[in-house]
Amino acid sequence: MTQRTTFISLFVIGLLVGIAGILGLQWLSGEDATTAAPAEGPPLSASYRSGPFQLGIDIEPDTPRVGINDLTLALLDGSGERVSGAAIKAVAEMPAMGTMPAMQAPADMQEIEPGLYRGTFEPLMEGSWPLTLQISKEGVGSARANFDLATGRKGLQPASGVTALTQGAGGARTDGGDMAEEAPPGMVTLDNRRRQLIGVKTAEAQAMTMTRTIRAEGRIAYDETRLADVSLKFDAWIGELYADYVGVHVAKGEPLFTVYGPELLATQQEYLELKRRGSASRTLVAAARKRLELWDMTAGEIANLEKRGEPFDYVAMHAPISGTVVAKNVVEGTAHKAGMTLLRIADLSQVWVEADIYEGELPLLTEGMPVTVTLPYLPGEAFEGRVDYVYPYLDGASRTGRVRLTVANPEGRLKPDMYAEVKLKADLGRRVAVPEAAVIIAGELRVVFEDLGEGRLAPRKVQTGQRAGGFIEIIEGIEAGDRVVTSGNFLIASESRLKAGMEQW
């Protein structure tokens, strides 16, 4: 009996020692024998960084639907430790559209184990429901993270306040290495339905040859290189007047009028006397002949004078150029002093057009540029010319510069002092450009929305240059091949400002 009692006591003591050993191993290994298996959900590893927190976020089903959806959030601090006891507010909100007000689907987030939170939210209709998380923890800090979420589209996409982290074999990186590009501030995600409602259209930024059309008002003027004045080199009286009205066309060498002058008559007599006198030196004869030539007697008239043997009382004055008489200060029988302008002749087969160009367009002009001139009272008819000269000064009142154009006028349709419409084409060369409708003017800033794909639209600040043909040059901000929004961008800009904060742009 005593031996049996002793055996039972030893068995009980051995069993107690075994249980104690198992509990001791569990305590040394850090396991709690009473801890239940962790709830199902994402691993406690970070996919994103927002403020002082690292986030692991999951949605069930992975393609959100109308009705109940589960949202699970793993929350870590900057060193990768679980954050327990955080205050989390999660709201999915469909923005207002037209007369329809905004709708909210809040998720009541409860901590189901240290650092792991879960809640449900219930979208009421199909469409885009951007998700906003507001997280705060005393001693750690606070953060606001925005994700783009839409029913019928798989997963969540970071919007603003979130930086995506690259997952490695050992979990999330906390040293900043291998970090993906942060979602641009103000990025908006639109599903196909909302894009159609807003009327979103896109176009590709392209490197193109830009030609700027410059339009200006002009005035037709005489070509000053084709003007000639007729005046006398001696005192004289007018005899017969052939060019007897303004507007008469004359040919070069054609007689305009005849004149009588005592000096001209005396010089003719002197020349004849020297020619008759055989002893006269050739120098004196040549000097007398030269004087007649300088007084506008032609070689034919001097030859006739030699044949005739006596001077002409009246000598004809001839047209120096072919053209139209545009000024007349002479009638028959009047006396005129040497140097007085009697007639002005203009060659109108070529005219000038003087146009006023705005100050900002003057750098685009170069001499030799082609130009088209039209007149409002000659519809359907155009005259081609070229830029002949750009004047080196501005009109201080109108802030315009004057440019001179040369235009052929063989039929005389262009008349001095007519008003004309001038169109110049400036070749700007090859530049990156987008449609003008793509650029939003926000004070001194210029903004376009780049289409990043998968419904994501991000604002980009750009520097613009010349405008031409409905396109605007982009000097900096986007490159050729990027797609930008050309229609509906003002509605997108409103939502982007709300997401990124007005101070962003």
Q: Calculate what percentage of the chain has a pLDDT beyond 90.
A: 48
Residue 76 has pLDDT above 80, yes or no: yes
Q: pLDDT tens, 78-130?
A: 888 899 999 999 999 887 766 678 889 999 999 999 999 999 999 998 888 88
For 18, which DSSP code?
H
Q: pLDDT tens, 442-468?
A: 778 889 999 888 788 888 899 998 888
Q: What is the mean pLDDT of residues 179-189?
A: 61
Q: How far apart are the first and last CA of the chain?
A: 95
CATH class of 196-210+430-504: mainly beta
**Between residues 363 and 40, the one the model is more confident about:** 363
Q: pLDDT tens, 356-390?
A: 999 988 988 989 899 999 998 888 889 999 999 99
Structural contact between residues 127 and 96, judged by C-beta atoms closer than 8 angstroms? no
Q: What is the mean pLDDT of residues 29-46?
A: 44
| Cα gap 102→111, rounded to integer Å | 29
DSSP string, 240-266: EESS-STT-EE-TT-EEEEEE-HHHHH
Residue 256 has pLDDT above 90, yes or no: yes
| Cα gap 101→349, rounded to integer Å | 72
Backbone torsions φ then ψ of 308, nearest 5 degrees? -70, -40
Q: Does domain 48-182 have CATH number 3.90.226.10?
A: no
Question: Residue 409's pLDDT is what?
Answer: 92
3-state secondary structure of 143: strand
| Cα gap 372→2, rounded to integer Å | 131
- Report the DSSP beta bridge partners of residue 218: 355, 420
Q: pLDDT tens, 210-228?
A: 888 899 999 999 999 999 9
Backbone torsions φ then ψ of 80, nearest 5 degrees? 90, 5
Q: pLDDT tens, 147-168?
A: 888 888 888 888 777 777 754 3
Given the structure tokens 């999951």, which residue do they identify?
A: 58
- What is the band of 499 on the pLDDT scale with cuts at 50, 70, 90? low
Question: Residue 188's pLDDT is what?
Answer: 77
**Between residues 13 and 279, the one the model is more confident about:** 279
Question: Residue 150's pLDDT is what?
Answer: 87
Closest CA to 69 of 192, 189, 152, 193: 152
Given the structure tokens 């000659």, which residue do they identify?
A: 378
Question: Residue 20's pLDDT is what?
Answer: 45
Question: Residue 170's pLDDT is what?
Answer: 34
Closest CA to 188 of 501, 505, 502, 497: 497
- What is the band of 25 on the pLDDT scale with cuts at 50, 70, 90? very low
Structural contact between residues 159 and 93, judged by C-beta atoms closer than 8 angstroms? no
Question: Residue 495's pLDDT is what?
Answer: 66
Residue 345 has pLDDT above 90, yes or no: yes
Residue 493 has pLDDT above 50, yes or no: yes
Question: Residue 329's pLDDT is what?
Answer: 94
Question: Residue 254's pLDDT is what?
Answer: 94
Residue 77 has pLDDT above 70, yes or no: yes
Average pLDDT, the chain: 83
| Cα gap 315→320, rounded to integer Å | 16
Residue 325 has pLDDT above 90, yes or no: yes
Residue 344 has pLDDT above 50, yes or no: yes
Q: What is the mean pLDDT of residues 5-21?
A: 46
> Of all helices (H) and strands (E), which one includes residue 486?
strand 483-487
Residue 39 has pLDDT above 50, yes or no: no
Q: What is the mean pLDDT of residues 58-76?
A: 92
**Encoding tokens for residue 134?**
């507001």
For 84, which DSSP code?
-
Q: Where are the domains of the chain?
A: 1-35, 48-182, 196-210+430-504, 216-222+348-427, 232-332
| Cα gap 469→471, rounded to integer Å | 6
Q: How many helices (H) and strands (E) does the chain have?
A: 6, 34
Residues ≥6 apart with Cβ < 8 Å to 241: 256, 257, 330, 331, 332
- Domain 216-222+348-427, CATH: 2.40.30.170
Burial 73-107 (b: 16+ CB within 10 A, else e): bbbbbeeeeebeebebebebbbbeeeeeeeeebeb
Q: Calculate what percentage of the chain has a pLDDT beyond 70.
A: 84
Residue 179 has pLDDT above 70, yes or no: no
Question: Residue 182's pLDDT is what?
Answer: 53
Structural contact between residues 383 and 372, judged by C-beta atoms closer than 8 angstroms? yes
Structural contact between residues 491 and 96, judged by C-beta atoms closer than 8 angstroms? no
Question: Residue 160's pLDDT is what?
Answer: 72
> Of all helices (H) and strands (E), which one includes residue 374?
strand 370-374
Residues in the chain: 505
Given the structure tokens 């569990």, which residue do they identify?
A: 26
CB-facing half-sphere around the CA of 500: CA atoms within 13 A: 20
Structural contact between residues 248 and 328, judged by C-beta atoms closer than 8 angstroms? no
Q: What is the mean pLDDT of residues 52-71?
A: 91
| Cα gap 482→458, rounded to integer Å | 12
The angle, 0 to 180 degrees and rounded to 10, between the axes of the packed helices 282-294 and 262-276 is 150
Which whole-number Å values give the CA distances from 127 to 151, 265, 456, in the listed order? Answer: 6, 107, 15
Q: pLDDT tens, 193-216?
A: 777 888 889 999 999 988 888 999
The angle, 0 to 180 degrees and rounded to 10, between the axes of the packed helices 299-308 and 282-294 is 120
